A and B are shown apart, each in its own frame.
Chain A
Amino acid sequence: MSTAEVSAERAVSVPARPRRRRKLFENWWRHLVGIVALVVSLFPVWFVVSAAFDHSDSVSGTSFWPNIPTLANFTNILHNSVPDKTFQGHVDSAFGRWYLNSVVIALLTAFFTVILGSLAAYAFSRFRFRGRRTGMLFLLLIQMFPQLLLVVAIYLIVLNVGGVFPVIGLNTYTGLIVVYMGGALGVNAWLLKGFFDTIPKELDESARVDGATPGQIFWGVVLPLALPVLAVVGLISFVSTLNEFAIASAILQTKSHYTLPVGMRGFIDQQYGQRWGPFTAGALMAAVPATLLFLSLQKWLVSGLTQGSVKG
């Protein structure tokens, strides 16, 4: 519904009330479907919120409203002081660290893939050179091979390369980021090439007439024009990196190095009876910013997603 429509409706709302009520009645079955969809979509969220603010630690204590409201779950998981029910002391967790790791790794991956991807995309979009067709077919083929399928080879390569260059070996962020970059480049370059094709070549031409080099045209003309698109591709890359579990769990080995998916799974696995409270508090803190970001950019995302990439 456009804003114009909404305000028009509002403007006439007083005299039109009977008509409106009739409309609500007329569409009752649509509302029924809408309400069912709303309930099904939101009930897990509701219970997570309820559990996060509840005194109980177990999934068995979760109910519609918190029984004994408390903020303890939030403070416990933030201070890594979740009491361990089986042994004395605290559960070995590092929520803040996982959070930071995830955000930094996803941001760096998104940033570098967008830069490197758009460089390649620009070459394919603007230049005619020997091997261009082969290069693009190659890119098309590469992006069909999901990196997830290569997890075994990647693990072995990182393991062996790490023996020579520990900086990109197992349990390093740099190792994980370069691996992610290799995996995301194919898809992103392909997506970006499509967008660059829609930017008129006349803009390049006029800059070239003014004496600009290809590099200057790229950084100065094309990239600024494509900024919204870069943001979309960057966001898609950010979100998929944020959700990535398999490769991260293969490469990262110690608790303090984990990303959120690896850390949170390790935290809650087989412990739903004991750590549900702090887990939901952590999940809430991780989900809210990501969800708001996603929803606010949803309009632009759809256009990007329909071009080829799919998010779970």
Chain B
Amino acid sequence: MSTATARVPAPAGSRRAAAIPVVLAFFSGPVGLVTKIGLLSLSNGLAVWAAYVLVDHRNWVALAVLAAATGLIDYVYLARRRTPAAKFLVPATVFLIGFQVVPIIYTVEVAFTNYSTGHIASKADAIRQIERVTLEPPANGKSYTAAPARDAGGNLVLVLRDDQTGKDYVGTDERLTALAPGTVTTGALGIASAKGYRLLKGNELFSLDKTLNSFVVPTAGGAGIRMQGLSQAVELRPTLRYDSRRDAFVRTRDGTVFHDNGEGSFVSATGEELEPGWKTFVGTKNFGSIIHNSAIRKPFLQIFWWTFVFAVSVVFLSFAVGLFLAIVLNKKGMRFRRLYRSAILIPWAVPGFLSLLVWQGLLNDDFGVVNRVFLNHVGLNVPWLFDGDWAKVSVILVSFWLTVPYFFLVSLGALQSIPDELVEAARVDGGGPIQIFRRVTLPLLLVAVSPLLIASFAFNFNNFNNIYLLTSGCPCDSAGGIAGSTDILISYTYKLAIATGKGQDFALASAVSIIVFLIVASISAVSFSRTKALENLA
């Protein structure tokens, strides 16, 4: 590709026209064909590999989707003279569906479930887990010195010595058998050897960690012997019994029945809940709890309100100041104009995440530069990030600092595009500078800038970085609750689902995401109906 082609932004000129045949020839020859064949083989090769993995995992649904998609892609690129548009659309469509559409659908799905810590697995898994975790030693439960081993046939067994009686046993996953005295010798570290059995050591032992964890030697009364650590075993029995006919757990001790409550948990009549629960559909419960559950509603409404306040103040302040700077500095022949301009653009050009982390240091209330170097000299010490209200002010000010340059640039462009004749005409008609600004300049400017104001509002409405990297949404109430005073909806969502020490609530987070989407979508819809975006659809 010639550099002449690259440099000219709008098509015109003869040098480029001369370059086109060269480029065309390059792509029409064997190079284009080889590239096409190469890319297609690559995609098919990947598909075959993925199919192989999916068969291995017995994931038939995914396999069917994969086969259909691959077939479709091959058809689009190999079939003669079908619509060429499809060839251009397929690559982007694959990624859009995979990483944008599927997540959207999944978000909606999760929002109607109870997917959260304690409700992760399927019901069958939950039942199995409850049976495993609710164990207790029986009345005269035994404990053993133990070692995992392999018998002559290579089967996994436990070699056991009763800690009280000193008798030796071998346990398989079917039964416990007594061993002749003298078969087993012990040393300082437990069982040292067992005739006829090969004790497991080192890597072999560690690689069997998972198997050993679920290895049970059944004994009388539904109890079983399990390893505890690497050299001890104990006899335990479940305290709860699953009754598949009634789909309920029964506590052996007192006969309490735990029923499926329809919301992913086994619950007794007195409200006692077994853990873990399982993932299931709960209808609109998440949305309902945002409205009805005061523990969720109160922080949610606060955050909701603050999100609007934050976005509106940032956009309004930044635009007002950006416009002011543009007007003041848009003076022909003024000295140092370029210097001021470049300086104002710096906060916009520096990667935002760095500025935010730096500001967190500058605003530190004891040691921060702002307090120590500037404010303390006039007797002030502002708790910038440690007081809820001041933290809100800080978040707005820092976001303002980051956003002003954008509106400065935009306003400068818009101002310069307003024809001088219009302003001149207004002056001739006797308008004062303020009148001209209000009646001529501002209305014209707003026409150009208002879609950007709306876009910026939508952007700041979800400005995760500006909140999270400056305050993490905090100061947070130490009494509990995830919400902090500077959290906006999106950072609240993130904390609910991902960054929290209090368990992950994917379902509630998804429900909040959907609400945020509806708000942003309506804002965007208003914006689009007022701009030409929809006309472009023609």
Residue from A23, A37, A45 whose CB has the most chain B CB atoms within 10 Å: A37
Residues of A within 8 A of B459 (CB): 310, 312
* The one of B23, B334, B520 that contacts A220, using a Cβ cutoff of 8 Å: B23
Docked pose: A23 CA to B260 CA in angstroms? 84
Asked if A34 and B336 make an inter-chain contact with CB atoms under 8 angstroms apart, the answer reads yes
* The one of B53, B100, B360 that contacts A150, using a Cβ cutoff of 8 Å: B100
Asked if A220 and B26 make an inter-chain contact with CB atoms under 8 angstroms apart, the answer reads yes
Asked if B520 and A144 make an inter-chain contact with CB atoms under 8 angstroms apart, the answer reads yes
Asked if B413 and A306 make an inter-chain contact with CB atoms under 8 angstroms apart, the answer reads yes
Asked if B536 and A193 make an inter-chain contact with CB atoms under 8 angstroms apart, the answer reads yes
Asked if B410 and A280 make an inter-chain contact with CB atoms under 8 angstroms apart, the answer reads no
Residues of B within 8 A of A273 (CB): 367
* Stretch touching chain A among B81-89, B244-252, B293-301, B477-485: B81-89
**Interface flag for B343 (CB, 8 Å):** yes
**Interface flag for B47 (CB, 8 Å):** no
Docked pose: A271 CA to B352 CA in angstroms? 20
- B40 CB, min distance to chain A CBs, angstroms: 13
Q: Name the residue of chain A whose CB is nearest to the CB of B333.
A: A23
**Interface flag for A71 (CB, 8 Å):** no
Asked if B334 and A27 make an inter-chain contact with CB atoms under 8 angstroms apart, the answer reads yes
Q: Tally A-B pairs: CB < 8 A.
A: 353
Residues of B within 8 A of A62 (CB): 369, 373
Docked pose: A132 CA to B536 CA in angstroms? 12
**Interface flag for B253 (CB, 8 Å):** no
**Interface flag for B114 (CB, 8 Å):** no
Asked if B88 and A123 make an inter-chain contact with CB atoms under 8 angstroms apart, the answer reads yes
* The one of B59, B325, B367, B456 that contacts A310, using a Cβ cutoff of 8 Å: B456
**Interface flag for A197 (CB, 8 Å):** yes
Asked if B340 and A142 make an inter-chain contact with CB atoms under 8 angstroms apart, the answer reads no
Asked if B20 and A310 make an inter-chain contact with CB atoms under 8 angstroms apart, the answer reads no
Residues of A within 8 A of B340 (CB): 34-35, 37-38
Binary CB contact string for chain B from 202 to 246 against chain A (1 if under 8 A, 0 otherwise)? 000000000000000000000000000000000000000000000
Residues of A within 8 A of B469 (CB): 245, 261, 265
* Stretch touching chain A among B148-156, B387-395, B401-409, B438-446: B401-409
* Stretch touching chain A among B8-16, B284-292, B424-432: B8-16
Asked if A179 and B328 make an inter-chain contact with CB atoms under 8 angstroms apart, the answer reads no
Asked if B410 and A265 make an inter-chain contact with CB atoms under 8 angstroms apart, the answer reads no
**Interface flag for A66 (CB, 8 Å):** no
Residue from B91, B92, B521 whose CB has the most chain A CB atoms within 10 Å: B92
Residues of B within 8 A of A4 (CB): none
Asked if A1 and B536 make an inter-chain contact with CB atoms under 8 angstroms apart, the answer reads no
Asked if B107 and A44 make an inter-chain contact with CB atoms under 8 angstroms apart, the answer reads no
**Interface flag for B67 (CB, 8 Å):** no
Asked if A152 and B107 make an inter-chain contact with CB atoms under 8 angstroms apart, the answer reads yes
Q: Name the residue of chain A whose CB is nearest to the CB of B354.
A: A283
- B530 CB, min distance to chain A CBs, angstroms: 14
Interface size class of B (residues with CB under 8 A): 35 or more
* Stretch touching chain A among B124-132, B159-167, B489-497: B489-497
Q: Name the residue of chain B whose CB is nearest to the CB of A142.
A: B100
**Interface flag for A41 (CB, 8 Å):** yes
Contact A157:B106 (CB < 8 A) given known A200-B11, A220-B26: yes
Residues of A within 8 A of B399 (CB): 312
Docked pose: A287 CA to B28 CA in angstroms? 43
Binary CB contact string for chain A from 133 to 175 against chain B (1 if under 8 A, 0 otherwise)? 1011100111011111111111111000000110000000000
Docked pose: A132 CA to B84 CA in angstroms? 13
* The one of A58, A59, A182, A197 that contacts B96, using a Cβ cutoff of 8 Å: A182
Contact A220:B24 (CB < 8 A) given known A38-B344, A164-B59: yes
Asked if B348 and A279 make an inter-chain contact with CB atoms under 8 angstroms apart, the answer reads no
Asked if A116 and B95 make an inter-chain contact with CB atoms under 8 angstroms apart, the answer reads yes
Contact A198:B10 (CB < 8 A) given known A224-B23, A312-B402: yes
Asked if A1 and B337 make an inter-chain contact with CB atoms under 8 angstroms apart, the answer reads yes
**Interface flag for B378 (CB, 8 Å):** no
Residues of B within 8 A of A239 (CB): 351
Docked pose: A127 CA to B7 CA in angstroms? 27
Residues of A within 8 A of B23 (CB): 219-221, 224
Residues of A within 8 A of B96 (CB): 142, 182, 185-186
Binary CB contact string for chain B from 309 to 337 against chain A (1 if under 8 A, 0 otherwise)? 00000000000000011001101111111
* Stretch touching chain A among B177-185, B188-196, B263-271, B460-468: B460-468
Contact A154:B466 (CB < 8 A) given known A145-B517, A194-B536, A264-B354: no
- A253 CB, min distance to chain B CBs, angstroms: 11
Asked if B359 and A44 make an inter-chain contact with CB atoms under 8 angstroms apart, the answer reads yes
**Interface flag for B382 (CB, 8 Å):** no
* The one of B110, B358, B364, B405 that contacts A153, using a Cβ cutoff of 8 Å: B110
* The one of A150, A207, A250, A302 that contacts B409, using a Cβ cutoff of 8 Å: A302
**Interface flag for A227 (CB, 8 Å):** yes
**Interface flag for B32 (CB, 8 Å):** yes
Asked if A45 and B7 make an inter-chain contact with CB atoms under 8 angstroms apart, the answer reads no
- B441 CB, min distance to chain A CBs, angstroms: 17
* Stretch touching chain B among A79-87, A88-96, A289-297: A289-297
**Interface flag for B57 (CB, 8 Å):** yes
Docked pose: A127 CA to B510 CA in angstroms? 38
Binary CB contact string for chain A from 91 to 126 against chain B (1 if under 8 A, 0 otherwise)? 000000000000000000000000111011011000
Asked if A152 and B509 make an inter-chain contact with CB atoms under 8 angstroms apart, the answer reads yes
Binary CB contact string for chain A from 254 to 280 against chain B (1 if under 8 A, 0 otherwise)? 000000110011001000110010011
| 26 CB < 8 A contacts A-B | A31-B334, A33-B328, A38-B340, A120-B88, A132-B85, A145-B520, A149-B490, A153-B103, A164-B57, A189-B92, A197-B536, A203-B11, A215-B36, A224-B6, A242-B351, A243-B465, A246-B465, A261-B353, A264-B354, A272-B360, A290-B351, A302-B409, A305-B406, A308-B455, A310-B455, A311-B406
- Chain B positions near chain A (C-beta within 8 angstroms): 1, 5-11, 16, 19-21, 23-24, 26-28, 32, 36, 50, 53-54, 57, 59, 62, 83-89, 91-93, 95-96, 98-104, 106-107, 110, 115, 324-325, 328-329, 331-340, 342-355, 357-362, 364, 366-369, 372-373, 399, 401-403, 405-406, 409-410, 413, 452, 455-456, 459, 462-466, 468-469, 490, 493-494, 497-499, 506, 509-510, 513, 516-517, 520-521, 524, 528, 533, 536-537
**9 tightest CB-CB pairs across the interface, nearest first?**
A182-B99, A60-B367, A123-B88, A34-B340, A120-B92, A127-B85, A294-B349, A153-B103, A220-B24
Known: A47-B373, A129-B85, A224-B20. 5 other contacts (CB 8 A): A34-B328, A58-B367, A152-B110, A276-B361, A302-B409
